[in-house]
Amino acid sequence: MAGQRCGSVVGVVLLLATSTACFRRSDVVRPVPPEERQGAARDSAREQRQQPRDYNRVITSEAGTSRGFFITHRVGPRLYFELPDSSLDRDMLVIRRVVAGMGSNANLHAAWQRRGDRVLLRERPYDVAADSTSSIARAVEAMRVGDIIASFNVETFGPDSAAVIEVTRLFTSNIAEFTAVNSPQTERSFIETARAFPENVTVEATQTGIEQPPPGVSGQGGAGEQPRRGARTARLHWSFRALPGDPMMPRLRDARVGYNDIETIDYSRPEHRAETRRYIRRFRLEKREPAAEISDPVEPIEFWIDPATPEWLVPWVRRGIEAWQPAFEEAGFRNAIIGRLAPGPEVDPDWSAYDARYSVVYWRPSTTQNATGGQQADPRTGEILKAEVNMYHNVMNLLRNWYFVQVSPLDPRAQSLPLPDSLMGRLVEYVVAHEVGHAIGFPHNMKASAMYPADSVRSAGFLRRMGGHVATLMDYSRFNYVAQPEDGIPPELLIPNVGPYDRFAVMWGHKPIAGARTPDEERATLDSWARAQDTIPWLRFTTSDAPNDPYGLTEAVGDEDAVKSNSLGMKNLERVAGSLLRVAERPGESYELLNELYGNVVAQWGRYNGHVASVVGGAYTQERYGTGVRFDPVERERQREAVRYLNQMAFQVPAFLLDPEILRRIEAYGVLARIRQAQLSVLSSLLNEQRLIRLIEYEALAPDERAYTIADLLSDLRAGVWGELEGGRVTIDVNRRNLQRAYLEAVERTLDPPVLVSRPGPPVDDDTPPRFANDSRAALRGHLRDLDAAIRDAIGRAADGMTRLHLRDLRTEIERILNPEG
């Protein structure tokens, strides 16, 4: 806080760490209360003292002691760690989690190091490595020296010469790596518990900090009064877990199979470069019967279910966890993943969901409509040490809206609200299974939803055979909105399940490879497994460097043929819109539900349009390792078909979105702006500079006239957005007027994008390529001039006054865009 500016005072002001108010004048020094001087003197004396005291004078008979990885002692408000030699220089995973209140979570890798009568807590980076026998190893180890997080005097020595340090301030003062609130106040922060276990130690403490007001918020008093700063208190859990003493053999990452990974630069590799090694994140699974084709693991993957989970949902959460069991069976492991209800404090008072030993599905009392999954891994090998799923209570509201808007015409249970508990439980199971997928190491695989033929996802027989409408649970495919009521799809097949890609990926990452003793010795086998993707498309994974793959879409079903699939989805959406009043109008209740559901219908309409827009300037991809082409531009006719769809379904507003019986119940006005914004989003996407650059490049590389060009796109859009200009009598209604204005706005955004606000600080080298180092600028400006001429000719044929005014205004806007300085 030194140098903080207060009000209009300019100058350098020194603030004490415990100050809670700004100085009013830079030449006024706040008197330091006696108790603060005494506390500061004690802290200073403690830091300067070099001679350890007798053990019994430090760790008194009143100490509460817990023994494990290292020993903890509670002596009154103070916390001591007793560190035997076996715990020194032992790399640890340190996890900080918020137990109560508001604060930030964090993780780091660190180690205790002894330096004479001082002990350091030092960060341990893992971004570089080298074989310990190599000549470069010592230099690489020097690169890993690590920052010192905290330093402690040795207060005494234990009976076995273990160093004893007081660590209270590690958890109650402003040590950045251990601080979860702003500017912790030591007098309002304190240790709650400390427990030691064989491989880890846990500490809980309450931290109280000072919450800064938002910028620009002033106090409630007179002129110049400083903003008030209030307290913020959080209860925090720290877990110090020793990294495994027998590191798991890592498995090398392969971009053809989706895994989260850890990476390090290995300077001792034989390659003629600094080699980056990437290892997949996975749990350590070892067969109890190594020779058996399928065996129980020595230690299964256990996910503990938060006791805060609503009781009626616990079985569904467990089913979501154990949905992955069949996938692990393909890797040779039976009962590999298990869900267990966590013990309450009355059963095991030492058990904590935040302990680094436990993987947990947390149930968060939150209005957030979301869920997340992740993991903490051994940075040396990728072994997952703690996996975490966060289920936010209000995710059920999101699930209700998704399911109702996408597939209620296909499931009688969803044709009235609220959804039955059995259906909501199944939806929660689906989300838990997806997030557990993240927690066991899998990223999203958006390509999977396009790997089945679009017609097949309407076939009940195909869906039964494949286990659902998408090849992986890790796609954002949601529910099967492509199916139609006449298809007779059983409702249980509308929801994604663990699919063939998931089983393949689990096998690829976990199946033991006989005889392999190093990661490199596994390469040939892993490569042979990955090559199955060449002949089985639903085993493919998202191409990480493909920003324009029309098969890599979120929230999509059947995107193997986006036009066909989203046309079918639109039919279901019209059915949903027709049911809104029947479902959501309830005497004695507000129209909040109707408003929410209608908003979701409009959003879904926008998603369908966005899926189709992705075809334009797109390229199909398949990740390959030295076996052929990875990118293949979409065919010209398919791109043209996509724009024809958008001209009809996005740029002509469907009547079901303009039902006055709904609109007059939910808002005084606003539907025109809502529709315009959705259309602007599609237009901005189509006319985005990067998309135009791709069209230019694909045309340049095309061997003949098969490329869809900028000229094709602008011509097709003109026919769809500006078709009224060609009529004998020109009439343009209000929605089309909004669309045309949005079109010009989208063009302007590309020609003259908003200027980014420069950040303070020294100038940096800018290697950004010059804007419009291609034909897009010329094409757009020429297009606007042609458009202006057509509008000029149409003014005299305007059938009404508003159309005439609109056309004149368009000409003014085009002139401004073309001549912004004019």
Summarize pLDDT for 112-151 with one digit per residue, the tens.
999 999 999 999 999 999 888 999 989 988 888 899 999 9
Task: Give me the mean pLDDT over the 566-590 stretch.
Answer: 97
Task: Give me the mean pLDDT over the 319-337 stretch.
Answer: 98
Predicted confidence (pLDDT) at residue 745 exceeds the cutoff of 90 = yes
Entry pTM: 0.89
147 compared with 224, residue with greater pLDDT: 147
Angle CA 467–468–469, to nearest 5: 145
Predicted confidence (pLDDT) at residue 15 exceeds the cutoff of 80 = no
Predicted confidence (pLDDT) at residue 44 exceeds the cutoff of 70 = no
Going by C-beta distance under 8 Å and a sequence separation of 6 or more, which residues neighbour residue 72?
Answer: 65, 66, 79, 80, 81, 82, 194, 195, 196, 201, 203
Specify the pLDDT at position 48.
54
Q: Which of 50-59, 103-112, 204-213, 437-446 has the lowest mean pLDDT?
A: 204-213
Predicted confidence (pLDDT) at residue 304 exceeds the cutoff of 50 = yes
Helix/strand number for the chain, H first, E second? 21, 21
Residue 780 pLDDT level (bands cut at 50, 70, 90):
very high
Predicted confidence (pLDDT) at residue 400 exceeds the cutoff of 50 = yes
Residue 49 pLDDT level (bands cut at 50, 70, 90):
low
pLDDT in tens, 503-526: 999 999 999 999 999 999 999 999
Specify the pLDDT at position 703.
73
Residue 221 pLDDT level (bands cut at 50, 70, 90):
very low
Predicted confidence (pLDDT) at residue 47 exceeds the cutoff of 90 = no
Task: Give me the mean pLDDT over the 807-818 stretch.
Answer: 97
Task: Give me the mean pLDDT over the 161-172 stretch.
Answer: 97
Specify the pLDDT at position 758.
47
Predicted confidence (pLDDT) at residue 578 exceeds the cutoff of 90 = yes
Predicted confidence (pLDDT) at residue 24 exceeds the cutoff of 70 = no
Give the chain's mean pLDDT.
90
Task: Give me the mean pLDDT over the 184-189 stretch.
Answer: 92
Going by C-beta distance under 8 Å and a sequence separation of 6 or more, which residues neighbour residue 94?
Answer: 107, 108, 109, 110, 238, 239, 240, 241
Specify the pLDDT at position 738.
97
In one-letter notation, the amino acid at residue 72 is T
Predicted confidence (pLDDT) at residue 765 exceeds the cutoff of 60 = no
Residue 46 pLDDT level (bands cut at 50, 70, 90):
low
3-state secondary structure 325-351: HHHHHHCCECCCEEEEECCCCCCCCCC
pLDDT in tens, 434-484: 999 999 999 999 999 999 999 999 999 999 999 999 999 999 999 999 999
Task: Give me the mean pLDDT over the 708-726 stretch.
Answer: 96
pLDDT in tens, 334-373: 999 999 999 988 899 889 999 999 999 999 999 999 999 9
Q: Which of 50-54, 217-221, 496-500, 713-717 has the lowest mean pLDDT?
A: 217-221
Predicted confidence (pLDDT) at residue 23 exceeds the cutoff of 50 = no
% of the chain exceeding 90 in pLDDT: 83
pLDDT in tens, 225-260: 555 568 899 999 999 999 999 999 999 999 999 999
Q: Given the DSSP bridges, would you call strands 190-197 and 163-166 parallel, antiparallel or unpaired?
A: unpaired
Helix (H, G, I), strand (E, B) or coil at 804: helix
Specify the pLDDT at position 771.
58
Specify the pLDDT at position 7.
37
Report d(CA 180, CA 1) in Å as an integer: 17
Buried b (16+ CB within 10 A) or exposed e, 87-112: beebbbbbbbbbbeeebeebebbbbb
- Other CB atoms within a 10 A radius of the CB of residue 362 amount to 20
Residue 309 pLDDT level (bands cut at 50, 70, 90):
very high
Q: Which of 348-362, 421-435, 665-679, 746-760 has the lowest mean pLDDT?
A: 746-760
Instruction: Please give the distance of CA 313 from its chain centroid, rounded to a whole number.
Output: 25
Predicted confidence (pLDDT) at residue 198 exceeds the cutoff of 60 = yes
Q: What is the dihedral of CA 536, 537, 541, 544, to 10 degrees?
A: 130
| Residues 237 and 202 sit within 8 Å (Cβ to Cβ) | yes
- Other CB atoms within a 10 A radius of the CB of residue 257 amount to 23
Specify the pLDDT at position 350.
87
Task: Give me the mean pLDDT over the 709-731 stretch.
Answer: 96
Helix (H, G, I), strand (E, B) or coil at 592: helix
Specify the pLDDT at position 125.
94
Instruction: Write down the residue that tokens 């689990």 correspond to.
Output: 506
Specify the pLDDT at position 11.
32
Predicted confidence (pLDDT) at residue 759 exceeds the cutoff of 60 = no
